Amino acid sequence: MRLFTGVFLLLAGSILFAEPVNVIFDSDFGPDCDDVGALAILHVMADKGDVRILAMGNSTSNQDGPSTMDAVNHYYKRPDIPIGALKGISDLWPNANYTSQLSSQFEQDLGKADGVPDVVKVYRKVLARVPDTSVTFITVGFKVNVANLLQSEPDEFSPLNGMDLVKKKVKLHVDMGGKFPGGGLEHNFLWAPEHTKYLLGNWPTPLILCGFEVGVDIRTGGFFLSDAQLQQTNPVALSYKLWPAPSEGNSSYDLAASQYAVYGLGDMFTLSEEGCADVDANGANSWTTSKKCGHWYLNLKMSASKAGSLFDDLMKETPLPPEQKPDMLNPWPEQCLIETSSCYLLDTAGACQVSDGACSATGACIVKEGLCYIASTDVACSNTSGACSFTAIQPQLRQQGVKVTNFSNKIIFTYNPTEVGPVDMVIYDLQGNMIKDLGYSGTTGTRQITWNGRTERGTTVSKGIYLLLVNSKILTKFRWM
């Protein structure tokens, strides 16, 4: 898809579309290869339009952990996902079987962890610029990063402390760790147990625990072990070889947690009664049924072999090229963003104004859930002392040239271009996901194109504001009747 230069705002009517899950992925790359497998299936889920990976961090002291994450991101054609490194602790699993070779053999941009940004800063920056209660945290490693996030202080990214920022922005935390319901010692809980205890005692949103028993018998990645050619081109395959995974495949603790975070219980899991998880000084966990803590644990409902086959099928998928990825349009440009409830769309030209002076705009301006942000490459943005302002680069953009005819089950766009050549029209939602490529092209003269409210997959979309992006310099707004 070519770079678009026009934005149309559509207020769609009575038509079901599930938004992708926004996730932050916190993992301990190094102690096991299922962390790599979990990241791999998240990328494939993102290729399917079901998840958006906002950021990730490594919770070990391994110097090659973050760059190995980056190598996997490069393989799946998402090289720009923010990645953070653990700071201040040098002895938390510093060595690993596969990270050094993966980071040297495959393309990555980060280098050693000492030069990678502080993971807490990375998380705070991302959380500060997303809508409230919009993020699912996935923690499949040690709990040091998330515990440090909770205890972080206000900074240049947000005036909120860590606890308040998480409470405001995160809706759910899915954590791989512990043994349930009987309790005991488990890898992710027993390392840095003081951080585990702080997390369990203070996390302010619902916490879903995916224990050791859920993933231990789900075996995946065995097909990687005998494919030497794939190991040369796929960092996931090489990680399973170098770990090494057993011939029947590796246990899939972290893949199970990621599956639940994106798709919920589905046919794979059931959920316990609410309770309280805790750990002792050695990291051994216990479980008590209670209504006080907001904790639940997962049970595996599906057979382990069937779950393993599903995960293997995901890891066998070929990455989509960037131009086909539904999550590549950044819905929250970080360079100009302000939280304000008084910024709103004013007219058909998309002008955004506010009564308190915090946000002013001409040109393409979109507001969602109190967030004012850019929706077009035709708009320049500046941010001074927290004030968000927009200046149209091409102020001549106006409502012109497109006639909209509304019916109960479709919208017809009539367009009369003055220049010969194709006119691409693509509909997106406000999260930046492509809904439908209308794929219209032709010569000069009157053209008509119809949208029936359906996605590329043929499902109908829900009510809301949508974007029609075209490669012509026109800006207007439509309402679905």
Q: pLDDT tens for residues 54-65? A: 999 999 999 999
Mean predicted confidence (pLDDT) in 176-183: 97
Assign 451 a pLDDT band (cuts: 50, 70, 90).
confident
Tokens of 57: 């961090």
In this predicted model, what pLDDT tens digit does every residue of 107-149 receive, in sequence order? 999 999 999 999 999 999 999 888 889 999 999 999 999 999 9
CB distance 215 to 178 below 8 Å: no
User: Among the listed ranges 60-74, 272-286, 337-351, 393-407, which one has the minimum average pLDDT value?
Assistant: 337-351
Give me the pLDDT at residue 428, please.
Answer: 66
Give me the numbers of helices (H) and strands (E) for the chain, helices first please: 13, 28
Residue 13 above 90 pLDDT? no
For residue 244, whether the previous peptide bond is cis, meaning omega lies within 30 degrees of 0, is: yes
Give me the pLDDT at residue 193, please.
Answer: 95
Residue 445 above 90 pLDDT? no
Determine how many CB atoms are found less than 10 A away from the CB of residue 382.
11
DSSP single-letter state for residue 401: S
CB distance 62 to 99 below 8 Å: yes
Tokens of 309: 């086959």
For 44, residues 6+ apart whose C-beta sits below 8 A from its C-beta are 76, 314, 315, 317, 319
% of the chain beyond a pLDDT of 70: 68
- How many residues does this entry show for the chain? 481
Give me the pLDDT at residue 467, please.
Answer: 66
Distances (CA, A) of 108 to 105, 224, 285: 9, 22, 37
For 265, residues 6+ apart whose C-beta sits below 8 A from its C-beta are 271, 301
- Provide the sign of the torsion angle of the four alpha carbons 246, 247, 249, 251, taken in this order: negative
User: Among the listed ranges 88-102, 237-251, 411-425, which one has the minimum average pLDDT value?
Assistant: 411-425
Mean predicted confidence (pLDDT) in 312-341: 67
Tokens of 231: 């190991």
Q: Domains along the chain?
A: 6-15+397-479 (2.60.40.4070), 21-324 (3.90.245.10), 338-392 (no CATH)
In this predicted model, what pLDDT tens digit does every residue of 364-392 receive, in sequence order? 344 333 344 433 333 333 333 333 333 33
Choose between 161 and 450: higher pLDDT. 161
Assign 415 a pLDDT band (cuts: 50, 70, 90).
low
Residue 83 above 90 pLDDT? yes
Alpha-carbon Rg for the chain in angstroms: 24
